[in-house]
Structure 1
Amino acid sequence: MNPALHPPASATAQSPARSGKNLRLALILLAIVVGSLLFVSVQPGLYRAFCEWTGLYDIDRAQEVAASAIPGRPITLQFDANSHDGALLFRPETTVLSAKTGDIMHVVYRVENTLDRTVVGQAVPSYGPQYAGNYVKKLDCFCFKQQTFAPREVREMPVVFFLDTRLPEEVNTVTLSYTFFEVPVESRK
């Protein structure tokens, strides 16, 4: 019998300590795989909850409202822009738009910083009639956060929204107005 062909029994048998380490490693790897699968399975729900909490989920709701059982009806939209302190020239590219409730609309506002210094501003929306604001569902708007304008910068900024099809029948015209206010240095985020 050739000893090179048959290793000693001690060389083929694993020590109990090594078997325990291998078992522990296998359990850790299994726990990582199971944990990863659980994370992946709850991630869509967490993402949806985050989007609803921040308002980002309105895009999906826009499709839902647009496809609702309430048919869209014609509406006239008016757009207005004001600057509180005059540092920013601010105007809508479109002043009047014919649309239907439930339709997703995209309008652009133009802003020009007239100063030789940086200006930080915040746009504040208002609606006419005021209660119509409850039916304006913004999907994207420059008014969501403060805007920083370099000296003499000109910028076009979009607003994407729809009017809920449940807008009261007596409302045939909705005005969407924004006023830009310069944000004082001490209150900037």
Structure 2
Amino acid sequence: MIELVFATNNLHKLEEVQAVVGDQFRILTLAEIGCTDEIPETGNTFEANASQKSSYLYDKYGYDCFADDSGLEVLALGNEPGVYSARYSGTRDMQKNIDLLLQRLGNQSDRRARFRTVISLRVGKAEHFFEGTVEGSIGFERRGDGGFGYDPLFTPHGHSRTFAQMSAAEKNTISHRAIAVAKLAEFLKTTY
């Protein structure tokens, strides 16, 4: 079984990724390798943040690893919150982040949005990127109790329910992270 470290402390992300890559790969957490560092994330693009995190982990701990950066881009807000999705309101309180997003959108009719994920994979000195996007729209209110982050607001195109109203298995077949991870898994299967 191939082991890779996923540079995250987000257990929701870890569960989503493990479900997509299956049991051919064992995804190790930061805790499992003894990393308690606050990994830097100071880039102004998803690519820069993902690369910064995977490079930090590889350079300091020496593990083949991958890191992602994901976020919500709302077209009417100039692609905000973007890389600031997790701390849009100045805190990591997702309810406050959602409230701010709804406030800024107000009653605008253009509610087009997309979730984007960029994964940086470090295997030895080589770095590879994988991207996934899912297009959709932002609702006027929260709907559903599942998922995390902006899931209660986001309805993917072709669906009538938000990510938060879908089961984890259903979301994992269409999510931005699932698309990026599927590309990562395909690359790993042909490389390892």
Tell me the TM-score normalized by structure 2.
0.26
Who wins on radius of gyration, i.e. which is larger? 1
Larger RCO, structures 1/2 (Cα 8 Å, 6+ apart): 1
More strand by share: 1
- When normalised by structure 1's length, the TM-score is 0.26
